[in-house]
């Protein structure tokens, strides 16, 4: 294995350890005595040290795996140490779980570039040249520099996968790799405020935007794998295990989101809002119990059930966002052909064209205009609340709560006037509305955060900024943070 652990991880480890020691002092101060800033600084420094250690462990684990390969037989390192596999050897030394060792070995192997075969010309051999595509090089570089943890690296790597060039012979060979590189750069920027789970999900969303043919293939694989199994344990408790296909999974998610909406948001509105809020707060069931009762209620009442019996005043449904350019046809019989893919509004999961065609026949569509000419959705000062069509447009644009570190889906979001309706005499226009979940919306108002919008005069594109409140002690105002869209539309091949 031609992997050299350069001095940079060791230097970063040494620097981070020095900073940690300086923060704790010679006596090893208790973390409970640190100020807020010192505590967060200590956590950041220890994270830098852990990233450097992870990189060293990854390289060493991958080298142990190489020296313990099956081809070496009893001469392999693990066998000579009395263990069957390299994983067992690394586990014994590090105390890590099997999954953690596997992740470390995979990360270590990723740092070893593939080599071009050596070609002999006139009796001379050139040195092999490392071959790494741009998108993969940027991703590996982020791991080796400490910008990403192993978990973040694997989330992007596994979620995004490889550019499926073979499926698109009509494209130039570098078209998809370049699109992959753009998506990697975008995901690297978002990694600092997304959880590992959300980062993996967004990587899959990017893959589905760039590989629409693969959406159908993956949908069919998961549809074939669908299953439902029940069993009884030794105490008589009944259990179930379900594998959903994509469409059914989206429907169940929508159903459960509707049941949990009184707790998660958006908040109730209207004359009876207070009574509904009190009723929701009086419900002592856990979220898991509420979801169970909802599923059982649906099974019991069947297809002809009154939606209010299980869901109150909001019937669940799956809304799919599909671009008009992907829909062709539409003759007198209403037949349409969907040539692209759509995305579930809640979460951005991709669905193939065949599923969307069926939904168009069954449910119809609501057109939403985009671009500078799409202003008829604005209602100015005529209405305080955003209309249904405006909410759909904002949902398609924002893709979920816009707060940087929040992963709440659009079904949990409320719609905030960036210029407050009463205080700033704001307008109920799509450009001046932004999706925030209940918690983030309340935080913004209660702690006096602000959101502003700037418009690029050339591209006519809007950028939204989150302004933190002034520090209660120093009075200093923090740096504004860009509020990025969570919509799948941000990942574009061209």
353: CB partners within 8 A, 6+ apart? 216, 326, 337, 338, 339, 340, 341, 342
pLDDT of residue 110: 83
pLDDT of residue 461: 82
22, exposed or middle or buried, with CB in 10 Å at 0-12, 13-18, 19+? exposed
For the chain (494 residues), the mean pLDDT of every run of 10, in chain order, is 58 90 80 87 92 90 92 91 92 92 88 54 54 84 88 93 88 90 94 92 94 90 93 92 92 88 76 76 87 87 56 61 72 63 84 79 65 48 68 88 90 83 64 88 86 85 90 83 90 74
Give the per-residue pLDDT at 107: 87
Q: Give me the helix-helix angle, 273-282 and 246-264, nearest 10°.
A: 100
Residue-by-residue DSSP string for 395-409? HHHH-S--STT----
444-to-194, 405, 436, 467, 468 alpha-carbon distances in Å: 19, 14, 9, 10, 9
What does the pLDDT read at residue 118?
45
CA dist 250 to 27, 125, 128, 246, Å?
55, 57, 49, 6
Q: List, in sequence order, every residue forming a beta bridge with 416; answer none if it has no partner.
A: 434
Q: Domain-by-domain residue ranges, the chain?
A: 7-114, 133-210, 242-365, 384-487
Q: Do strands 336-338 and 327-329 pair parallel, antiparallel, or not at all (unpaired)?
A: antiparallel
Q: Are 276 and 308 in contact (CB under 8 A)?
A: no
Task: Write down the number of H helices and E strands in the chain.
Answer: 17, 16
Q: Can you say how many angstroms the Cα of residue 474 is from the centroid of all Cα atoms in its chain?
A: 35
Is residue 223 within 8 Å of residue 192, measured between CB atoms?
Answer: no
Encode pLDDT of 278-316 as tens digits.
Answer: 877 788 889 899 999 988 888 877 645 555 554 544 456
Contact 378, 431 (CB under 8 A): yes
Q: What are the CA-CA distances from residue 257 to residues 59, 123, 254, 343, 488 (Å)? A: 43, 69, 5, 17, 20
Beta bridge partners of 328: 337
pTM for the complete prediction? Answer: 0.77
């Amino acid at each position: 294995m031609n992997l050299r652990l350069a001095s940079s991880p060791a230097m970063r480890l040494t620097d981070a350890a020095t900073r940690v020691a300086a923060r704790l002092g010679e006596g090893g101060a208790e973390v409970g005595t640190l100020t807020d800033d010192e505590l967060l600084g200590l956590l950041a420094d220890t994270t830098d040290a852990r990233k450097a250690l992870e990189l060293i462990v990854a390289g060493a684990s991958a080298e142990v795996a190489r020296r313990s390969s099956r081809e070496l037989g009893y001469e392999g390192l693990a066998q000579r140490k009395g263990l069957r596999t390299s994983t067992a050897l690394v586990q014994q030394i590090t105390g890590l779980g099997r999954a953690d060792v596997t992740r470390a070995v995979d990360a270590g192997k990723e740092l070893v570039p593939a080599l071009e075969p050596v070609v002999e010309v006139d009796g001379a051999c050139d040195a092999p040249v490392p071959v790494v595509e741009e998108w993969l090089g940027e991703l590996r570089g982020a791991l080796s520099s400490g910008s990403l943890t192993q978990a973040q690296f694997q989330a992007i790597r596994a979620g995004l996968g490889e550019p499926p060039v073979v499926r698109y012979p009509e494209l130039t060979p570098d078209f998809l790799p370049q699109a992959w590189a753009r998506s990697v750069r975008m995901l690297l920027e978002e990694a600092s405020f997304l959880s590992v789970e959300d980062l993996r999900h967004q990587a899959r969303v990017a893959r589905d935007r760039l590989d629409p043919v693969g959406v159908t293939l993956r949908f069919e694989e998961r549809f074939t794998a669908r299953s439902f199994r029940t069993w009884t344990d030794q105490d008589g408790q009944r259990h179930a295990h379900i594998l959903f296909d994509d469409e059914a999974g989206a429907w169940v998610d929508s159903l459960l989101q509707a049941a949990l909406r009184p707790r998660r948001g958006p908040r109730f509105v209207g004359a009876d809002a207070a009574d509904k809020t009190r009723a929701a707060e009086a419900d002592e069931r856990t979220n898991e119990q509420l979801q169970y009762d909802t599923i059982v209620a649906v099974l019991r009442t069947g297809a002809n059930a009154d939606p209010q019996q299980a869901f109150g005043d909001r019937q669940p449904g799956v809304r799919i966002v599909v671009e008009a350019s992907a829909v062709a046809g539409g003759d007198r019989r209403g037949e349409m052909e969907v040539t692209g893919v759509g995305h579930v509004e809640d979460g951005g999961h991709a669905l193939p064209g065949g599923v969307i065609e069926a939904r168009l026949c069954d449910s119809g569509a609501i057109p939403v205009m985009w671009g500078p000419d799409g202003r008829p959705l604005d209602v100015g000062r005529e209405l305080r609340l955003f209309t249904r069509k405006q909410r759909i447009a904002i949902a398609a644009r924002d893709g979920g709560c816009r707060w940087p570190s929040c992963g709440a889906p659009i079904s949990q979001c409320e719609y905030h006037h960036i210029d407050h309706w009463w205080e700033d005499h704001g307008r109920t226009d799509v450009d001046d509305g932004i999706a925030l979940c209940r918690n983030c919306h309340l935080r913004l108002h209660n702690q006096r955060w602000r959101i502003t919008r700037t418009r690029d005069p050339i591209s006519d594109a809007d950028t939204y900024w989150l302004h933190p409140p002034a520090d209660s002690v120093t009075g200093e105002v923090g740096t504004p943070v860009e509020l990025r869209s969570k919509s799948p539309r941000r990942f574009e091949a061209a």
